[in-house]
Amino acid sequence: MGRSAEMGSCGNSRSIAILVLGIWTVVDRPYLEQLLGNDLYITAAYILIATGCVIFFVSFLGCFGALKEIKCMLLSYFIIVLLLFIIVLIGGILGYVFKDKASVSVKNAMTSAMKDYKPDTDIPITKAWDETQQAMKCCGITEQSEWLKYNRNFKNSGNKVPKSCCKNDPNTGKVIECQNSPTEDNSYTEGCYKKARDFVQGQAVIIGGVGIAVAFIMLIGLILSIILFKLIN
């Protein structure tokens, strides 16, 4: 009874940890997904959510098999958890690997996305850039002048930066018109690259750390299932 309860407790705790991490990844700054030009975070989040749900139900399989001393259920529990252990462990390792490569990949993706930006439209790239610049209080990749350098829409118009680079008036709360002549007083001058890179690297560390930690907790469940399997006559 004690071991089965421990298996269920471990299963529920790790499933909750993975579910929380997956949901947090989905809702935390989803605009960066489009800006970075890949589905890394949303895909990883859905995989984490699905894995958490599977672990939650599989833990009951292990508990029931242990309580009723059904060897085939324990064996099924062991095989499924072993597969999930490999997936989560690989995901955690890849999280750390991606962290080291994030610096280059983030900058290249942002440069490419900047070229596709079209002012006053609702296309995904435009919305992603606008939401990123407003939320992170930044403008351009490393500096404002990059909008004129990389985007032909600003070369052919009088605007130097998108409206999302403009600050809000502290008195009225409305966005200040700064597109024609952005300054430190009316617009954000810090680039978005460093902030986006730091966020991506921090996210990768968290995903990697939680993935590896949960994998070791799953290893405990695997060991307990083997012990119970051996004890059942």
Domain ranges for the chain: 101-231
Helix (H), strand (E) at residue 212: helix 193-231
pTM of the shown model = 0.66
| 3-class DSSP assignment, residue 175 | strand
pLDDT tens readout for residues 116-152: 899 888 888 898 899 889 989 999 999 999 999 899 8
Q: What whole-number distance in Å separates Cα of residue 33 and Cα of residue 49?
A: 17
pLDDT tens readout for residues 152-211: 888 777 789 999 999 998 888 888 999 998 999 999 999 998 888 888 777 777 777 777
Tell me which architecture the domain covering 101-231 has in CATH: Orthogonal Bundle (1.10)
